[in-house]
Amino acid sequence: MPARCFGRKPAVFDPRTPLLASVLSAHLPDPPAACDYGARFSSWPLWRNGDQLSNHGQTIPGLGDCTAVSVASAIRVLTAARGGEIELTDEEVVGIYEANGYDPARPATDEGAVELDVLNRWCQTGYAVGRQAPDVLTGYGAVEPKNHDGVRRAIAMLGGLYIGLSLPEYAVSEGAVWAAPTQRFTIAGGHAVFVHGYDAEGLWLNTWAERKRMDWGFLDAFCDEAYGLLSRDWLEVNGSSPMREDLSAMADELRAARAT
């Protein structure tokens, strides 16, 4: 098993960040019982968020780039849902990390990033994706992690949630399911993941080149920030997402909420 890295700095909260609960409930009063936008993927890249071997058998040290990996995960899920999957390269993901403070020439800068900083930069300047124009996020809003209906609505309507976890040590080596704690634990570090599905038992996510399950109790215990993303990547050719919501109207509502 390759060494696993973290990289989410402690959550920073901005009072201007709009809350998504009322906006989402107005557009989708009853979220579906289950959805999973990541089920189509048989594998996930590590994207440098852990030690890996080069083609020459040399070990490439991992980076604390999980906040950038979560951007790449979101782009992959959201573009695939509309039929045009984009999978970022390692270099592109590291480029996102560099845009948020990492300098390969200065190893000490490999200290992770703040999720809000990553999201704000995504909205303001976007991130390079191949030879295309930068991928720019339309907007985002906060979701209370313990509001499970809000979590379900955000995943169903917007394609997933960009979340921050204070990850316990036992989850680093645990198998395919992250379960709620049943005894004392130690926090290993801050970690960012993109959650792309849920059902009655828990949620689906990807991290460290693996597809994982997280039960609802684990989310309650360890998630301290969660953001729904308004992304044009989520739109189909006809201008709407699989859930048919009007992202332009939602973006206007979020801008109005931020201005008050």
| pLDDT over 70 percentage in the chain | 90
Determine the 3-state secondary structure of 196 from DSSP.
Answer: strand
User: Token pair for residue 259?
Assistant: 């201005």
132 pLDDT band, cuts 50/70/90, is confident
Residues 144-174 have pLDDT tens digits of 999 999 999 999 999 999 999 999 999 998 6
The pLDDT of residue 236 is: 60
What are phi and psi for residue 173, nearest 5 degrees? -110, -5
Residue in the block written with tokens 């992202």: 247
Residues 60-83 have pLDDT tens digits of 899 999 999 999 999 999 999 877
241 pLDDT band, cuts 50/70/90, is low
Full-model pTM: 0.93
258 pLDDT band, cuts 50/70/90, is low
Residues 172-218 have pLDDT tens digits of 986 779 999 999 999 999 999 999 999 999 999 999 999 999 999 99
| pLDDT over 90 percentage in the chain | 73
Residue in the block written with tokens 């970022």: 88
Within 13 A of 147's CA, how many CA atoms are on the CB side? 19
Residues 97-111 have pLDDT tens digits of 999 999 999 999 999
Q: Please name each of the domains of the chain with its CATH number.
A: 21-259 (3.90.70.10)
2 pLDDT band, cuts 50/70/90, is low
53 pLDDT band, cuts 50/70/90, is confident
The pLDDT of residue 244 is: 61
* Measured distance CA(229)–CA(80) in Å, rounded: 15
